């Protein structure tokens, strides 16, 4: 072998091995996904999780406090927003530094330890860590020293582990850290507390406050931390992206848009008493159900519907309040979502007659989408479930019913049983589910509206 050839082989092997190491480690090239590259590929990729604060799908619309902030930022940049749903908490930083995403958005407090692994944007929110427990019974905890030897369930590899270790130091006692397999997000664990499957978990207060609206039997008033700043995570090398994001947030946080976003997710109106109290117990329909009865009758008559069915939905949604505001920006007597209302020509300032007629048209449309179901009663229940959760989630429940041997054409004790599975990670993260987690009250919603409607109908 001559010297020149030998030198060539050595150099070739050196670069080949070097390239192999690079591929195995998947190390990011400096600035590869920084601002210039994001603009070039026309896509901003966000690493997030399926939850009320970060990202979820509801009534066929993408929502989430963080999602909407970053969607505004993407539009500010003039690029599309791509979402990558992360299950394992370790994967956030791993994917970020491998260049598989540009920004971490998971309701993430700024911790000194995390600053070693990635950069943070300026804070866009703040919250506290709170203990989530059931509000009934004798085991409610108000003093953190009472956590001694208690089982505290958290997500596997959760950042809350650090806080629990600090709490142990503070009280000088052991706390039993328990994890649930399958990487359930905080909302899943809160639901488990509500159902009595576990007694305690930890949550950021902003998440817990939203979940308390769905699970009124939970208590979230026991603080476990001081106020913490929450920010988006970025690679340390992405200096230009951080600069542009910080600039955007600095202006956005002072804008009317951010104020409306806060109200949309955290300050929406809770149910109050409206025109008639205890309407569920009404048995004499000679009395007026609401001051809008004639509007319900006129709208229902045009499409050959029983006006009491429409009225029962309106009562459940808003207690007949045309100015009601609900979670995720839902508005009006029929609680239209901002993405759905305009397609029915109804807006937050539309008069009651327009709101009611739009609701009737939407119900009629959904009813038509379940025309393969022969039973009118079951078809009405699928319609109600779709109105509440969005048809996509109910389609997922139907597919799960088929998978587990239930009748996909029957709501009662069949498809309705699958609603619970849509809040369990092993189901909502895998086939045949297509629309992700659903943690809403579809089962209770259908039962309340239909039973009220039948009571009114049978006691005329």
Domain boundaries, the chain: 35-123+231-266, 129-225, 279-458
- Provide the pLDDT for residue 260: 84
Question: Mean pLDDT, to the nearest integer, of 107-126?
Answer: 93
Average pLDDT over residues 295-301: 96
CATH of domain 129-225: 3.40.190.10
How far apart, in Å, are the Cα atoms of 350 and each of 291, 317, 327? 17, 16, 19
The residue-averaged pLDDT of 284-307 equals 85
Same fold, 35-123+231-266 and 129-225: yes
Residues 85-89, mean pLDDT to the nearest whole number: 89
> Given pLDDT bands bounded at 50, 70 and 90, which one contains residue 264?
confident
Q: What share of the chain is helix, strand, coil (3-state, %, to 5)?
A: 50, 15, 40
Kindly list the distances between the CA atom of residue 351 and the CA atoms of 39, 356, 357, in Å, as whole numbers in the listed order.
43, 9, 10
Residue 4: the pLDDT is 46
User: What average pLDDT score do residues 91-106 get?
Assistant: 94
* CATH number, domain 279-458: 1.10.530.10
Using the predicted structure, report yes or no on whether residue 9 has a pLDDT greater than 60. Answer: no
Question: Taking Cα atoms as reference points, which of 336, 289, 286 lies closest to residue 315?
Answer: 289
Residue 129, both tokens: 């860590």
Per-residue confidence (pLDDT) for residue 212, from 0 to 100: 86
pLDDT in tens, 145-203: 899 989 999 988 788 888 898 898 888 889 999 988 778 899 999 999 998 999 999 99
- What is the model's pTM? 0.69
Average pLDDT over residues 372-400: 96
* For residue 139, pLDDT beyond 90: no
Domain 35-123+231-266, classified CATH 3.30.1330.40, yes or no = no
pLDDT of residue 17: 40
């Amino acid at each position: 072998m001559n010297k020149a050839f030998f030198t060539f082989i050595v150099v070739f092997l050196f670069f080949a091995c070097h390239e192999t190491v690079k591929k195995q480690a998947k190390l990011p090239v400096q600035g590869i996904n920084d601002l210039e590259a994001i603009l070039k590929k026309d896509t901003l990729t966000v690493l997030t999780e399926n939850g009320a604060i970060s990202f979820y799908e509801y009534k066929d619309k993408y929502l989430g406090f963080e999602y909407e902030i970053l969607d505004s930022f993407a539009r500010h940049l003039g690029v599309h927003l791509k979402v990558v749903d992360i299950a394992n908490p370790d994967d956030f930083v791993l994917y970020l530094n491998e260049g598989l995403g540009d920004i971490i958005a998971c309701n993430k407090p700024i911790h000194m330890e995390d600053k070693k692994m990635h950069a943070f944007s300026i804070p866009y929110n703040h919250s506290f860590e709170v203990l989530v427990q059931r509000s009934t019974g004798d085991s409610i905890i108000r003093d953190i020293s009472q956590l001694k030897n208690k089982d505290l369930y958290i997500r596997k590899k959760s950042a809350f582990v650090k806080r629990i270790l600090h709490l142990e130091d503070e009280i000088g006692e052991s706390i039993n850290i328990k994890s649930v397999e399958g990487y359930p997000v905080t909302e899943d664990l809160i639901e488990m507390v509500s159902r009595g499957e576990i007694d305690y978990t930890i949550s950021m207060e902003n998440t817990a406050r939203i979940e308390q609206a769905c699970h009124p039997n939970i208590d979230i008033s026991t603080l476990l931390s001081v106020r913490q700043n929450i920010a988006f995570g970025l690679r340390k090398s992405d200096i230009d992206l951080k600069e542009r994001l910080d600039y955007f947030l600095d202006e956005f946080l002072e804008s009317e848009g951010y104020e409306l976003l806060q109200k949309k997710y955290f300050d929406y109106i809770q149910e109050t008493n409206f025109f008639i109290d205890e309407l569920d117990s009404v048995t004499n329909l000679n009395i007026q159900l609401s001051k809008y009865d004639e509007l319900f009758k006129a709208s229902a008559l045009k499409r050959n519907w029983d006006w009491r069915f429409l009225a029962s939905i309106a009562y459940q949604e808003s207690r007949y309040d045309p100015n009601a505001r609900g979670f995720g920006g839902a508005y009006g007597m029929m609680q239209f979502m901002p993405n759905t209302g305009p397609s029915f020509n109804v807006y937050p300032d539309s008069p009651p007659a327009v709101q009611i007629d739009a609701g009737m048209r939407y119900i009629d449309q959904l009813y038509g989408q379940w025309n393969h179901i022969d039973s009118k009663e079951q078809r009405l229940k699928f319609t109600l479930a779709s109105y509440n959760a969005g048809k996509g989630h109910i389609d997922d429940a139907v597919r799960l019913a088929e998978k587990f041997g239930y009748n996909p054409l029957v709501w009662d004790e069949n498809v309705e049983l699958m609603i619970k599975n849509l809040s369990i990670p092993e189901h909502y993260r895998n086939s045949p589910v297509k629309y992700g987690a659903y943690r809403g009250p579809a089962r209770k919603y259908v039962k309340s509206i239909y039973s009220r409607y039948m009571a009114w109908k049978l006691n005329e």
